[in-house]
Every structure is written in structure tokens, then in C-alpha cells.
Amino acid sequence: MLIGFALIIVAVFLCCALLFHLSIYALPLFVAFLAGSAIYRSGSGIVAALAAAAIVATVLLAVAQVALAFAKSDVTRAAIGVSFAAPAAIAGYHAVHGIAAATMPPSAWQLVLSVLGAAIIAAASLTQWSRTRP
């Protein structure tokens, strides 16, 4: 029982660490999913949808890197960071809410913990994007 509890704690911490490291890719993932869904619904096949999703995500990341490289003002850099942090906050909220729902009884603390987790994940994403220097 104690070993199982310890393994659950380790798994939650590893999931949180993975969420922190992958938080900068939330916006490209959302945009890729939208592009892939649009291509697939238009009648193209699954291969075309996957290719379009990969291309759109890659282009978005490249455009963000170029925009950060040529941004002169801190307001522009902050706008780029916030545009990547907002989807990360949504993903962080849902991830922390899922963990909280699985580990604690339903209460107001689930919502508080989920909102706190969303803020922390958004801050981590914003920090990772602000560290990017040309």
C-alpha cells in the first residue's frame, strides 16, 4: 500500500514536470488540431490532415521565434508570450483539475487548486518564452 502511494505521488510529479516542459507547445497543438480538423472535414484524407497539422504547428513556432528575434519592445514580446501562455493556462487548468478530481473529494478546493495550477502553468510558459533571446 505504501509503495503504491509513493508511486502515485511520483507519477503525479512526473506528469506535472512534463506539463511544465511542454506548456510552450499548447498553442501550436491547438492550432494544429484546428487545421487538421478543417482539412479532414473538407474531404481530404487523414494523411493530408496530419501533414497540414504538422506544417501549421511548425510554421507557427517559426513565426513566433522570428517575431521574438525582431521584436524591439517589451510589449510586443509580452504579447507573444501571453498568446502562448493563455492556451497553456487552459491546458494546465484541465490537467490539474483532472489530477485533483482523481485524488480528492469534490469540493471548492478542487476549483481553487485548478485555478492555481492554471496560473502556475501559464507563468511557466510565459517564463520559457521570455527566456528566448535572439
Nearest in space to 117 (alpha carbons), one of 93, 90, 87: 93
What's the structural domain count of the chain?
1
Q: Where are the beta strands (DSSP E) in the chain?
A: none
Residue 124 has, within 13 A of its CA and on its CB side, a CA count of 22
The DSSP secondary-structure symbol of 73 reads S
d(CA 11, CA 8): 5
pLDDT tens digits along 15-25? 878 888 888 88
Task: Kindly state the average pLDDT of the residues 27-35.
Answer: 93
Conformational region of residue 72, where left means phi above 0, alpha means psi within -120 to 50, and beta covers everything else: alpha
What span, in angstroms and rounded, lies between the C-alpha atoms of 41 and 82?
30
Decide if pLDDT at 133 tops 60: no
Q: Are 58 and 111 in contact (CB under 8 A)?
A: no
pLDDT at 55 over 80: yes
User: For residue 54, what pLDDT is reported?
Assistant: 95
pTM: 0.77
**Given the C-alpha cell 517564463, which residue does it identify?**
127
Question: What one-character DSSP code corresponds to residue 106?
Answer: S
Where in the sequence is the domain holding 27, given as residue range(s)? 2-130
CA-to-CA distance for 90 and 96, rounded, in angstroms?
10
What confidence score (pLDDT) does residue 47 get? 95
Confidence of residue 134 (pLDDT cuts 50, 70, 90): low
